[in-house]
Amino acid sequence: MTATETHRAIDAVWRIESPRLIAGLTRIVRDVGVAEDLAQDALVSALEQWPESGVPDNPGAWLMAAAKHRAIDYFRRNTRLERKHEELGRELDARQMNTGEILMKDLEAALDDDVGDDLLRLVFISCHPVLSTEARVALTLRLLGGLTTDEIARAFLVPEPTIAQRIVRAKRTLTERRVAFEMPRRAELAERLSSVLEVIYLVFNEGYAATAGDDWMRPALCEDALRLGRILAELAPHEPEVHGLVALMEIQASRSRARVGPSGEPVLLLDQNRAIWDQLLIRRGLAALDRAESQIAKNPSAVKGTYVLQAAIAACHARARVPEETDWARIATLYSDLGQVAPSPVVELNRAVSVGMAFGPAAALQLVNALSSEPSLKSYHLLPSVRGDLLFKLGRFREARDEFERAVSLTRNARERALLTERARACTSGDDRPV
């Protein structure tokens, strides 16, 4: 194996193993920043040794063993050795036994037990409400996604020092606020889980429809979010909203290849070649939706949450072999339900689109016009984009052009700007006929 191949293997192993490594170490040292430093030390050892010795048969175990040694060194360098012995429940006479041997046994027991619980605790810490949304996203991708600060910065088109500062401040905040490495109490669980799901969905959405830059999609971010969602579904199998989010992402991701044209241009849903939708991802998504709905059925007081409802909407599209088979009336009903659970002008705008497809553009335009004065949509480019589309369908081409041009001025994504500019050109300047 060449040095380049070895480094690629190390990168792949790190992305898979680092969350487990950091989670186990955090439970021991009770400081996520220190835990990450110890894990990084183990990675440095791998980078130094593997190119010469080769990649071990069990690289994850090798990294874990290296991290354990780093943790022992950390305790030796600190005056907390005796206290750590007590915390680990090993009240042994250090004078009669080798200190390193004791710590090694204790660490092995602590790091090898309850890995799933440790990962779940790390998820809740990374997405803790004491952190800003931007900090939660950066820290989650760093600790659970295994991404470097440079990769996170490039994904979100933010300077690398900005991301580095967010991560450093986030870890400092967790330490200063003494955020416990534990599962939230029952009263806090729903709120904290909502924060976790929000972060994962934010990551996915940024990959699915980039807010800025030259690319319409950033598939790597979608993959990272999906991986995090799947891990969370294994760790919290009885939470319907977790399965709902996974279902939503699986189904949305199934369209990725069809959403981008040969030159990188956006391809809208109704124009996509459904033959290249990924059927495996669709099946996975529908299965996740079934799991979510089965969990709801087991609880008479449970209601469908935002992600389950959005997944049900995505499923309507996935089940339609051609656009004409789409059950738009069902989608409009689901958006109404979503508006009851999570009222939002954006949800109402999406409902208007489905109403337009089910019952005609005139009915939809009334709903969209009612949103025109909504302050939160003032800079939202999709509002004039949707209004322009409805006006075009109604033959009001000059008005449609004005709306598309306004949408162009609001979007920050170059590919989307080009698409909207082309739609504006499809409207004449004077005689209300399309060119």
**pLDDT of res. 100:** 46
Q: What is the pLDDT of residues 178-211, one digit of tens each?
A: 888 887 877 777 778 888 998 999 889 888 877 7
Do 333 and 358 contact (CB within 8 A), yes or no? Answer: no
Q: What is the pLDDT of residues 141-186, one digit of tens each?
A: 888 877 788 888 877 778 999 999 999 999 999 999 988 888 787 7
Residues near 176 by Cβ (< 8 Å), separated by ≥ 6? none
The tokens 């206290």 sit on which residue? 83
Q: Under DSSP, is residue 260 helix (H, G, I), strand (E, B) or coil? A: strand
- Sort strands 412-413 and 212-213 into parallel, antiparallel or unpaired: parallel
The tokens 């499809």 sit on which residue? 426
Q: Distances from the Cα of 301 to the Cαs of 93, 324, 392, in angstroms?
A: 54, 36, 45
DSSP 269-303: GGGS-GGGS-HHHHHHHHHHHHHHHHHHHT-TT--
Alpha carbon distance 333, 313 (integer Å) = 10
Q: What is the pLDDT of residues 310-319, one digit of tens each?
A: 999 999 999 9
Q: What is the pLDDT of residues 222-235, one digit of tens each?
A: 888 898 899 899 88
Do 384 and 423 contact (CB within 8 A), yes or no? Answer: no
**pLDDT of res. 82:** 55
**pLDDT of res. 152:** 85
Q: Under DSSP, is residue 200 helix (H, G, I), strand (E, B) or coil? A: helix
Q: Which of 49, 69, 51, 62 is nearest to 7 (CA)?
A: 51
Alpha carbon distance 190, 320 (integer Å) = 34
The tokens 């979608």 sit on which residue? 222
**pLDDT of res. 348:** 97
Please give the average per-residue pLDDT across 339-359, as a whole number: 96
0.85 cut: is pTM over it?
Answer: no
Phi, psi of 402 (to 5 degrees): -60, -40
Alpha carbon distance 146, 135 (integer Å) = 15
- List, in sequence order, every residue forming a beta bridge with 412; answer none if it has no partner: 212
- List, in sequence order, every residue forming a beta bridge with 212; answer none if it has no partner: 412
Confidence category of residue 93, pLDDT binned at 50, 70, 90? very low
Do 6 and 55 contact (CB within 8 A), yes or no? Answer: yes
Q: What percent of the chain has pLDDT over 70?
A: 87
Q: What is the pLDDT of residues 17-65, one digit of tens each?
A: 888 888 888 888 888 988 889 988 988 888 888 888 888 888 888 888 8
- The CB-side HSE value for 196 (13 A sphere, CA atoms) comes to 30
Alpha carbon distance 233, 227 (integer Å) = 10
